[in-house]
Structures are given as structure tokens and as C-alpha cells.
Amino acid sequence: MERIYLDHGATTPLAREVLEEMMPYLTEKFGNPSSIHAFGREARKAIEDAREKVAKAINASDPGEIVFTGGGTEADNLAIKGIARAYKHKGNHIITSAVEHHAVLDACLALQKEGFEVTVLPVDEYGMVSVEDVKKAITDKTILITIMHANNEVGTIQPIAEIGEIAREKGIYFHTDAVQTVGKIPVDVKELKVDLLSLSAHKIYGPKGVGALYVRKGLKLEPLANGGGQERKRRPGTENVAGIVGLGKAIELAVAEMPEESARLTKLRDKLIKGVLDKIPYVRLNGHPTKRLPHNANFSVEFVEGESMLLMLDMKGIAASSGSACTSGSLDPSHVLLAMGIPHEVAHGSLRLTLGKANTEEQIDYVLEVLPGIVERLREMSPLYNQKILGGE
């Protein structure tokens, strides 16, 4: 049985070219980048080359604006806590949205315990933040706005440039979590008017455990940890040289392949969405119909338990998810879907299919062949379905 991976929103396989670039730094080029001898200089050069690649990929003015981290979660925490603590003398108010990744929401929650005030903005039925709501939420105490570039669960792309414009006008720092967008759609820190931007390697065929934070020149940032002077004293600790090299190569490849791959994935995504909506009754597409990531399709399947659907798909060789992999241990329905106004019982039946490089049209055909039967079988076991639909209500 062919195994079909449709969970690229959770992670992606390591690209062969990325592994090849990393290998020397896992073996013979093992120097500590802080050492002044040849071994150290070799490692330092590799890090600075990767920094240049990341800066170029997001159109940062200076490679020095890139801080390497242990992943997207750390980058989000460093941005939010680092700015809030560095500028608390200017104000104590932070604005975010109800559909952020938990790395952002929980960082804001932690800051509330330190005396910061947090406004969590609602979203519309598509998971979109209103620019007007952002404007209204601003007070003279607002120091930071943090809104994700695109949602990891439903794929909705937020109006970041418009929010950035408002933040600039008001002199408020603006952070965006771009973990799901870098390498998938164009990301330009100047066009988006952001001061801070988080990204991660393992969403773009790079290694796990490495990410980066763009910090616009001139911004103060309080580090999360204390220790050495690495990353211009913003992220102490000996650098993960091989991981950083991998991120540099992965982002370079992703940006180069983006125009072609994005168009290909959009076509596959649209075929998948149309097929699911045509073949299965009582299903809704979650997220914006057009302003969405090219590789993301998210559905609410009524009268079905999401986990049962995933297990049955897995038995047919199809790997999917019901939302964020970071909360898969939780029995609660997605906070994103609930924020979009989807009822609790419908949110439980969510299915996220996220496409990637290896996916083909034939694989999409197979999913469309298998999924309706799975849903039908699960609905036959649903008392709610029998009562509401078969009972004629």
C-alpha cells in the first residue's frame, strides 16, 4: 500500500540537498563558531553564510537582523517577551488575535502574569482579523501587536501589510509569526512593514529544532536566557551549526522553487477542495476560500469524530491531521475553529490536509476515492446523524 503524506503543515521531510549541505558540519567540520582557530572560523563562516541566505529570502536590509533560534516557538517567545520586557517603560499593552499559534497566545498569557495587559481580537467566519478592530484596540499604552501571517490550521492569510501600516503610524512594534508562509508565499519584511518575524526550518524541508527571528535594526530585545554573547547577545548558547546551515539551504531552495511549486499545489488543493465538497454532504471548507495558503485544505465534517477519521485514513495509508500537531494530545476542539464561530460538536470533526512536494494528482484522486466511504461508515455509527438526518429532521 502506498503511503500518502498530507500533513506538511505539521512537518516536512528533510530535502536531500539540505542533508548534503549539513553533513560536513555533523562530521569533520565540528568547530565551535566562537573559537578563533581555523576550525572555529570555518563554522562561523557557515553560520554567516546561512544568515545571509535567510536575510535575502525575506528581503531584510542586513544579515545582522537575523537571530537564529531553536525553532518557531522560541522565535515567537523571544519576539513577544523580548520586546515587551525591553520596552515596558513605554507601555504594558499587547494586541494579538484569537487564532494565533499557542506559542504566541501562551507567551502573551505568561506576560499577563508580569502585569501586561493583552487584548485578544476576534476573527470573522474565515478566521480573518479585521484591520478596523486592530485600530480600535490601540491605546496609548500599546507597545506590541502580534498577528500571524497565515493560520497553521485553516490557512487564512491575514492583512499583515495593512496592520503594519497602522503600527508604523502609531509607533507600535509589530511581530508576525510567518512559520507557515515563508517558502510558500512571498514574504518581504519591508512590504509587510513588520519589525519582527518568526520562521522555522522544518516546515520548508529543513531540519527540526532550528528557526530564526528577524529583528529590525535598532530594536532592543531582552534575551530569554542568560549566558554567552552569541547572536549579538540576543540568544546565548553554542550555535546549532549544522541546523543553521540546513535552514539556510532549505530557505534558499524554497524561495527559488516557490513560483512553480505554489502554482502546482494551488491546483492540487483546489481539486481536493472541490472533490471533498462535491462528494461528501454536510461538509464545510474552513478558512478563506481564496486568501489561503496554496497547500492548505481544512474541512469540518459534521456527525463525525475527527480522531476516528484520522485513524481510518491512516489505515488506508493516508497521513492527515485534525489541526495543529502541537495540540494533538488535547481532547478539546481547535481554538481556531471555535474562534471562527464553528459549533463545538462540528469543530470536533475537523480534517486538515496539507500538501507538499511529493504529492501528485493521482494521490488526490485516491483520497477522494477513499474519504467518502470512511465518512459514510463513521456516520452510520453516529447517533446524532441517525437522529437528525436519517430521522428526517
CA within 13 Å, CB half, 163: 30
200 has binding-site annotation: yes
Grid cell 474519504 is found at: 371
Spatial contact of 241 and 74, defined as CB atoms under 8 Å apart: no
Q: Does 32 belong to an annotated binding site?
A: no
Residue 296 is assigned to a ligand binding site: no
d(CA 170, CA 140): 9
| Residue 326 is among the residues annotated as catalytic for this protein | yes
Q: Which amino acid is at 231?
A: E
Closest residue by Cα to residue 75 from 169, 167, 209: 209
**Cell numbers at 233, concatenated:** 547577545
Contacts of 259 (CB under 8 A, 6+ apart): none
Backbone φ and ψ of 95, nearest 5°: -115, 130
The single residue of 131, 185, 326, 338 carrying the catalytic annotation is 326
CA–CA distance, 53 with 64 (Å, rounded to integer): 12
Angstrom CA distances, 297 to 46, 275, 331, stand at 37, 11, 22
Cell numbers placing 217: 535594526
Dist CA 334 CA 342 (whole Å): 10
| CA–CA distance, 114 with 75 (Å, rounded to integer) | 20
The answer to whether 262 is annotated as binding is: no
Query: Is 326 flagged in the annotation as binding?
Result: yes
Instruction: Determine if residue 360 is labeled as part of a ligand binding site.
Output: no
Task: Judge whether 201 is annotated as a binding position.
Answer: yes
Q: Is residue 23 a contact partner of residue 9, using CB atoms and an 8 Å limit?
A: no
Kind of pairing between the strands at 117-121 and 318-319: unpaired
Which parts are annotated binding residues for [2Fe-2S] cluster? 326
- Residues forming the active site: 326
Which parts are annotated binding residues for pyridoxal 5'-phosphate? 72-73, 152, 180, 200-202, 238
